């Protein structure tokens, strides 16, 4: 289980929006490297760094050293979200008199290091870590360095020093996004080297390993992987740890992704509403592993992992709330051992409150309970228990259930609303068409009540209705037979993602068209690379926007 998984997802989205808007407001700044480390920052702030925004100089605090200082919009956005200052202050970024300088400055509460000139922060962190050792303090230092930054020789001076002094109170995270100002890192100054001498490849991870560091390679956008790696780093004794977080520069905004032009360029104001829609289009594929013919759940989880599913949907049926019976918390506990993938647990059981603790302890990342099995009081209790245990809160409603009035007050903190498009109880049913209009209606209600979570479409989701479900507003898609019942889970998930990707492109073009007509549509298309421009031109022509 990853603590606060859904909360981190939520603040990561908020951070991305803040990054883009503050850079756009400033007219300059570095979006690419800010967007690539958002999940890393989220994980650090929510789950690892000891801090108190009201007492930024609290002497028991941990320290976050952003060595790649040009990622300041990322850092500042998270500092604001975590309460160091108001998010509205982000609009002073890079402006006269602001505490939010172009690069991090101690003027800003929460900033521990004046980054900007690259290569210095790791040595600086080592100094702080050595001081903590002298003082017998349990302070932990978290340092984020860049891959372009790793061209600096001083990084490797520091690398040697950290192992000499067996510094284990430091966790370094390399934001390995493969892009620096001029071009791809591997073109400017390769970090992964292929030796023509012995025909071997030495990656940047090999380099760090050869310096005596504990090296952990992860996908730097997967919260569960970041969290696990940081936990491991804190347990490692007598050696420093570096987490090589493989990330995507400009992550979340397609035209910026892996494009060196967006290392240090501000997006124009006119694109912000489209970018905002794009960021809100992030989605998750959550395969339901009870679907499909096999009963080997472990095997199915492995298939989901290989197919890059975002989470695992676990349908718990007790034979009382629904006729069928599947498995309970004991099975979840077993499955927890084999994967870090988030568990999206759907409790189709009666009296869920009495079982809540067991499902939390089993390792659920989010627990959705049925509105039909709760009332205001029991859901309130469930809600509080989940919040206190840093587990996501889900509420599910059956096809013939409307969103209950008593749930409104919980909407701002609910992480997921599961709108069932089949009657729960067994897999393989057909999607109930009226769910589309129901979802659209509920969406309006949700925004009125400040809902900030995901809508999960669950029941009969397949290639045929996926597109409309996305347009309705669903962002988590439970794949039953359409994924787990297929010969290749990987291809099925890929197809899901393709359909959604195309739907998003339509959505963005339609947004551009609605606010700026043909002119804005053209400008938006031209932001993209050649290959994507052709695709977008075709879609826009089909939609008669051009």
Of 159 and 332, which CB lies nearer to another protein in the complex structure?
A: 159
Q: Binding of another protein at residue 114 (CB under 8 A)?
A: yes
CB 421 within 8 A of CB 399: yes
The least distance separating another protein from the CB of residue 106, rounded to whole angstroms, comes to: 5
Piece of 106-114, 235-243, 300-308, 386-394 that binds another protein (CB under 8 A): 106-114
E-strand ranges in 237-387 read: 241-246, 284-287, 312-317, 343-348, 366-370
The dihedrals phi and psi of 443, each to the nearest 5 degrees, come to -55, -45
The backbone torsions φ and ψ at residue 442, rounded to the nearest 5 degrees and listed phi first, read -65, -40
Answer yes or no whether residue 213 interacts with another protein by CB under 8 A.
no
DSSP state letters, 141-162: EEEEEETTGGGSHHHHHHHHHH
Instruction: Quickly count: other Cβ atoms within 10 Å of residue 55's Cβ.
Output: 11
Q: Does 71 bind another protein (CB under 8 A)?
A: no
DSSP code at position 181: S
Beta strands in 1-105 (DSSP E): 63-66
Stretch that binds another protein, among 12-20, 71-79, 112-120, 235-243 (CB under 8 A): 112-120
Q: Does 99 bind another protein (CB under 8 A)?
A: no
Q: Residue 111 Cβ, how far from another protein at the closest point, in Å?
A: 9
Q: Does 508 bind another protein (CB under 8 A)?
A: no
- Of 132-140, 372-380, 436-444, 524-532, the segment contacting another protein by CB under 8 A is 132-140
Q: Does 113 bind another protein (CB under 8 A)?
A: yes
Task: Answer yes or no whether residue 494 interacts with another protein by CB under 8 A.
Answer: no
CA distance 162 to 130: 9
Among candidates 106, 50, 45, 48, which has minimal Cα distance to 79?
A: 45
Q: How far apart are CA 452 and CA 455, in angstroms?
A: 10
Nearest approach, Cβ of 213 to another protein (angstroms)? Answer: 16
- Binding-site member from 71, 110, 116, 240 for another protein (CB under 8 A): 116
Neighbour tally for 83: CB within 10 Å: 14
In the complex with another protein, the residue whose CB is nearer, 113 or 271, is 113
Place of tokens 């900033």: 111
Check residue 535 for interaction with another protein (CB under 8 A).
Answer: no
Give the residue, chosen from 98, 125, 368, 537, that forms a contact with another protein under the rule CB under 8 A. Answer: 125
CB 36 within 8 A of CB 250: yes
Site string for another protein, 16-55 (x = CB under 8 A): ----------------------------------------
In sequence order, which residues have a C-beta less than 8 Å from that of residue 325 and are 6 or more positions away?
A: 317, 318, 319
Positions 133 through 172 that interact with another protein (CB under 8 A)? 133-135, 139, 153-154, 157-158, 160-161, 164-165
Contact residues: another protein, CB under 8 A: 105-107, 112-114, 116-117, 119-120, 123-135, 139, 153-154, 157-158, 160-161, 164-165
């Amino acid at each position: 289980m990853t603590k606060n998984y859904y909360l981190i997802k939520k603040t990561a989205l908020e951070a991305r929006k803040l990054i883009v808007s503050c850079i756009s407001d400033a007219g300059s700044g570095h979006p690419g490297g800010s967007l690539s480390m958002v999940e890393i920052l989220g994980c650090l702030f929510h789950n690892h760094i000891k801090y108190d925004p009201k007492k930024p100089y609290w002497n028991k605090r941990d320290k976050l050293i952003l060595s790649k200082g040009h990622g300041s919009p990322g850092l500042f956005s998270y500092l604001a979200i975590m309460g160091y200052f108001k998010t509205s202050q982000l609009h002073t970024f890079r402006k006269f008199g602001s505490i939010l300088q172009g690069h991090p400055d101690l003027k800003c509460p929460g900033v521990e290091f004046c980054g900007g000139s690259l290569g210095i922060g790791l040595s600086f962190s080592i100094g702080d870590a050595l001081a903590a050792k002298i003082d017998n303090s349990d302070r932990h230092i978290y340092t984020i360095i860049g891959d372009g930054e790793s061209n600096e020789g001083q990084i490797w001076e520091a690398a040697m020093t950290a192992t000499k002094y067996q510094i284990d109170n430091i966790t370094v995270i390399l934001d390995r996004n493969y892009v620096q100002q001029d071009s791809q890192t591997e073109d400017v100054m390769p970090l992964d080297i292929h030796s023509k001498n012995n025909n071997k490849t030495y990656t940047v991870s090999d380099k760090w390993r050869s310096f005596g560091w504990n090296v952990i390679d992860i996908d730097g956008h997967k919260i569960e992987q970041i969290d696990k790696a940081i936990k491991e780093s804190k347990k490692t004794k007598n050696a420093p740890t570096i987490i090589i977080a493989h990330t995507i520069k400009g992550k979340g905004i397609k035209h910026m992704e892996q494009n060196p032009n967006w290392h240090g360029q501000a997006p124009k104001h006119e694109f912000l509403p489209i970018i905002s829609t794009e960021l809100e289009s992030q989605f998750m594929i959550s395969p339901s592993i009870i679907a499909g013919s096999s009963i080997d759940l472990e095997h199915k989880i492995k298939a989901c992992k290989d197919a890059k599913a975002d989470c695992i949907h676990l349908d718990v049926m007790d034979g009382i709330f629904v006729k069928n019976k599947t498995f309970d918390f004991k099975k979840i506990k077993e499955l927890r051992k084999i994967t870090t993938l988030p568990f999206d647990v759907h409790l189709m059981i009666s009296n869920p409150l009495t079982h809540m603790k067991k499902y939390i302890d089993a390792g659920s990342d989010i627990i959705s309970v049925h509105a039909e099995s709760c009332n205001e009081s029991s859901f309130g209790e469930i809600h509080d228990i989940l919040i206190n245990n840093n587990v996501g809160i889900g509420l599910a409603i059956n096809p013939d259930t409307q969103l209950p009035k008593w749930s409104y007050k919980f909407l701002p903190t609910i992480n997921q609303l599961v709108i069932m498009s089949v009657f729960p109880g067994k897999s393989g049913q057909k999607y109930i068409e009226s769910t589309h209009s129901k979802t659209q209606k509920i969406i309006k209600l949700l925004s009125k009540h400040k809902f900030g979570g995901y809508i999960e479409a669950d029941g009969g989701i397949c290639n045929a209705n996926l597109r409309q479900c996305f347009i309705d507003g669903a962002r988590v898609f439970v794949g039953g037979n359409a994924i787990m019942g297929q010969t290749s889970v990987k291809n099925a998930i890929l197809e899901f993602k393709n359909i959604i990707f195309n739907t998003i492109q339509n959505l963005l073009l339609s947004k551009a068209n609605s606010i700026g007509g043909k002119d804005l549509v053209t400008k938006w298309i031209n932001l993209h690379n050649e290959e994507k421009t052709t695709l977008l031109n075709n879609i826009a022509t089909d939609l008669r926007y051009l």
